Structure 1
Amino acid sequence: MSVQLNHTIVPARDRDETAAFLVDVLGLAPAPVFGPFRVVSLGNDVSLDVVQAGEAVPAQHYAFLVSEQEFDQIWGRIKDRGLTYWADPHHQRPCRINTNDGGRGLYWSDPNGHNLEIITVPYGG
């Protein structure tokens, strides 16, 4: 078997709010509780295990590879929620998307300040 990412822990000020945010914006199934985590399952058998971390949450970056159709749906939900989004990871180009590597991409923040990204083509094309 090759090495694969199985899950990663996402620290949150409010575990349930963060999991609900991810599920809603990304269009995923509800996140069940497993021990101290809300488990947000992604389509490639990887999960984001959201855990209550208190007020001091270090900002992380999470990138999601999505289809063109999923991109449009997620982008629509971001706009419907009135969330600010950017074409770049440093948040210098607001309300724009990028076309890096021949695909489309954008960045937005979750309630904890995590920098979220969707792309339709992996880095490097």
Structure 2
Amino acid sequence: MPATFNHTIIASKDRTESAAFYREILEAAEAPSWGPFTNIQLDGGVLLQFAEPPVEEIQMQHYAFLVDDELFDRAYARLQRKGIEHWADPQQTRPGEINHEHGGRGVYFLDPAGHALELLTRPYL
């Protein structure tokens, strides 16, 4: 069997708040949660598990999500409606914009814990 991506743990200041944020932006399904994890499920069975690590500061990570044009439009409208700061580039030099890279569209923004998120409509490769 070839390797497939199954799950990852995303460090959160408030696991319930982070899971709700991702669920709303990505229109992801709720998933059973257990122990220290609040979980959501992406297409293909990929599980995102949110946990509150016992540290003072959370190290920023980058998570990119490939979405179709319709979900991008809905997610981007939610970002704008909620007043969530966003950028067309990962260096955060083009605020309030989206990009048109790789034949699609993309946007960068931060989650409640400070992780850098990216939505893109076309894969890089």
- TM (normalized to structure 2)? 0.93
Question: What are the within-5 Å matches in structure 2 for residues 19-98 of structure 1?
Answer: 19-54=19-54, 55-98=56-99
**Is 1:23–1:31's contact at 8 Å kept on the other side of the alignment?**
no
1: CA distance, partners of 2:11 / 2:45: 20
2: CA distance, partners of 1:14 / 1:31: 17
Q: Given the alignment of the two structures, is residue 117 of structure 1 paired with residue 123 of structure 2, yes or no?
A: no
Query: Kindly tell me: are residues 100 and 14 of structure 1, through their superposed partners in 2, closer, same or farther at Cα, counting changes over 3 Å?
Result: same
**Is 1:32–1:39's contact at 8 Å kept on the other side of the alignment?**
yes
Aligned counterpart, 2:108: 107
- Residues 48-107 of structure 1 deviation map (CA, whole Å, 9 limit, x = unaligned): 110112441110000000000010011011111110110011111101111111000000
**Root-mean-square deviation (CA), in Å?**
1.2
Contiguous gaps of at least 5 residues in structure 1: none
User: Tell me, what secondary structure is at the counterpart of 1:34?
Assistant: coil
The one-letter amino acid of 1:51's match is A
Shift of 1:45: 1.5
- Using the aligned pairs only, state the percent identity: 44
The one-letter amino acid of 1:45's match is G
- Residues 18-55 of structure 1 deviation map (CA, whole Å, 9 limit, x = unaligned): 11111112222235422211111111211111011244
2: CA distance, partners of 1:75 / 1:34: 31
User: Tell me, what secondary structure is at the counterpart of 2:73?
Assistant: helix
Structure 1: 4+ residue segments shifted above 3 A? none
1: CA distance, partners of 2:96 / 2:31: 29
